[in-house]
Structure 1
């Protein structure tokens, strides 16, 4: 992961932490993935929290000069929102979905292969 992507990922991670997201994790997937350099995974406390964070996150991404390729007016109501910023993919998930899909374990396992 290059320095600019890392700096942007850390800024996004701090933003999510400041907005009460839990367990913010930045994963370097650049060696395992051809379409992204890092994933940022964070837990939201409710669907309302998810909608609020996504809405505010778009402004932060704009401030960082990052373009969101999958922006839509209303985030999904299922507890998982994926925000695609090209090299950085943000996964905002409910605790239940994060535990069920275990993205960190999945991508760490790929790294070990």
Structure 2
């Protein structure tokens, strides 16, 4: 079984291979009790988000993991899709949402892996 860090790195690679931009991993394990890693990526369209979400879900299934919550952060919007896999939380964000919410800045005390 893979560690949370190995899963975060693998998920980040999937996103990069599928043309997501500015993929980063932040280790937030010392900053909260509900997850260990954020994987953040910029997506280009609703179709791009849906394709990436499917690839993430396939990875989760193949690695016998479980998705706890999957929802859009904005009602009716496609700006921010959050996929909670327990120890890893994937954030698929539009460029506008990424610039507005600045998760990397908000979680600046976390260790950046990528």
Pairwise same-fold verdict (TM > 0.5): yes
Structure 1 counterpart SS, 2:51: helix
TM-score (norm 1): 0.85
Runs of 4+ with deviation above 3 angstroms: none
Equivalent pair of 1:21/1:42 in contact (CA under 8 Å)? yes
| Structure 2 unaligned regions, length at least 5 | none
Structure 2 counterpart SS, 1:108: coil
Instruction: Please provide the CA RMSD for this pair.
Output: 1.8
1:79-98 matches, within 5 Å, as: 79-98=79-98
Which has the larger displacement, 88-97 or 59-68? Answer: 59-68
TM-score (norm 2): 0.85
Q: How many residues align?
A: 106
| Structure 1 unaligned regions, length at least 5 | none
For residues 11-48 of structure 1, what are the alpha-carbon distances to aligned partners after superposition, in whole Å with 9 as ceiling and x for unaligned? 00101111111111000000001100010000001112
> Comparing both chains, which one has the higher relative contact order based on Cα–Cα distances under 8 Å and sequence gaps of 6 or more?
2
